[in-house]
Amino acid sequence: MSVTRSVLVGSGSYLPEKIVTNEDLTKIVDTSDEWIRQRTGISQRHVAADGEFTSHLGYKAAVDALQNAGLDAQDIDLIICATATPDNTFPATAVAIQNMLGIHHGAAFDMQAVCSGFIFALTTADMYIRCGKAKNALVIGAETFTRILDFKDRTTCVLFGDGAGAVVVQAQEGEGDTSDRGILTTHLRSDGQHKDKLYVDGGPSTTQTAGHLRMEGKEVFKHAVGMISDVITDAFDATGLSAEDLDWFVPHQANQRIIDSSAKKLHIAPEKIVSTVSMHGNTSAASIPLALNVAVKDGRIKRGDIVLLEAMGGGFTWGSILLRW
């Protein structure tokens, strides 16, 4: 049976020039390189320059992804930008990126699911494509998380960084089985009873300020592995594929210990994990497309490979996508 599939035909990314090492952070808060590496696996993160906004990072990642796909910006009829750090409360950062790309047709909007944002955005693009409502979608994860960090709080300010990643997703015909290229299954979940465990203490309706990130780190850690495992099991059940069938596992890059524990629980071999947390820190919605692009550009992820994406973040929100590259 012929079906429409959402095939990832290009990937791109952009990281701001400035790098802040763990050692640099010891000059700002009472911390150490050893503590940060041991607890999180992070050794450095990129930080956006003054005047460099989320839309600028997202635009550069989008241009890179379009080039990689061999498509012109005018071919794009849908832009979804996953971000929790928009340029402004409104309009959407996606609209700013659309304008920078010189696109004045189709639809552009933001997706807010914090660290799961890219999974939610790519799932939404998949729905548009499979319904015949879009032919070429640009899905971007772009963040300037360092702008919402409290640099007096050592428990959070060492964890996050800035950056952007993007993919181009194209409608193509498939057979309707797992031999197809493209997105094979998607699974999204949310549970707002956990909304105060990872949040920003500001906003237009509450404080009229942007606020700062607050987190109960231990609580987040406690729930993460179970939630991630649940949606990955859903992906395996829906497709009949298993951990052995995976070529690559590209998880949200929050913490190496969460990544390793999830992989272990699901029997995913360590050599299949794409990890960039050491170099990027947690870039929230940007982390998966950033990691994906590293593995695509260095030749690890090849056409036809089975790739598993997953994320968990504030809300809580969590989700998985299983695809054939």
Q: Which residues are catalytic?
A: 115, 252, 282
DSSP letter (8 states) at residue 230: H
Is 31 a binding residue for ligand COA by CB under 6 A? The answer is yes
Site string for ligand COA, 192-221 (x = CB under 6 A): -----------------------x-xx-xx
* Binding-site size, ligand COA (CB under 6 A): 19
Should residue 115 be labelled a site residue for ligand COA when binding is judged by CB under 6 A? yes
Q: For residue 302, list its beta bridge partners.
A: none
Nearest to 282 by CA among 262, 315, 257, 302: 257
Q: At what angle do helices 33-40 and 256-265 cross, to 10 degrees?
A: 20
By CB under 6 A, is residue 141 in contact with ligand COA? no
Q: Which amino acid is at 196?
A: D
Q: Does 154 bind ligand COA (CB under 6 A)?
A: yes
CA–CA dist 182, 306 (Å, integer): 9
Q: Which stretch binds ligand COA (CB under 6 A): 50-58, 128-136, 151-159, 297-305?
A: 151-159
According to the binding rule CB under 6 A, does residue 22 interact with ligand COA? no
Residue 9 lies near ligand COA (rule: CB under 6 A): no
Tally: H helices and E strands in the chain: 10, 13
Give the range of 9-17, 33-41, 75-83, 187-195 binding ligand COA by CB under 6 A: 33-41
DSSP H helices, the chain, are 22-25, 33-40, 54-69, 93-100, 117-130, 154-157, 217-239, 256-265, 277-280, 287-297
**CB closer to ligand COA, 107 vs 149:** 149
Name the residue number minimizing CB distance to ligand COA.
Answer: 217
142 part of the interface to ligand COA, by CB under 6 A: no
Residues 6+ apart with CB under 8 A from 132: 4, 171
Given the rule CB under 6 A, which of 101-109, 253-261, 263-271, 293-301 is the region that contacts ligand COA?
253-261
Q: Under a CB-based contact definition with an 8 Å cutoff, are residues 143 and 284 in contact? A: yes
- The values of phi and psi at residue 121, to 5°, are -70, -45
- Shortest spacing between CB 59 and ligand COA, in angstroms: 25
Which is nearer to ligand COA, 62 or 259 (by Cβ)? 259
Q: Which residues bind ligand COA (CB under 6 A)?
A: 31, 35-36, 39-40, 115, 154-155, 158, 215, 217-218, 220-221, 254-255, 258, 282, 313
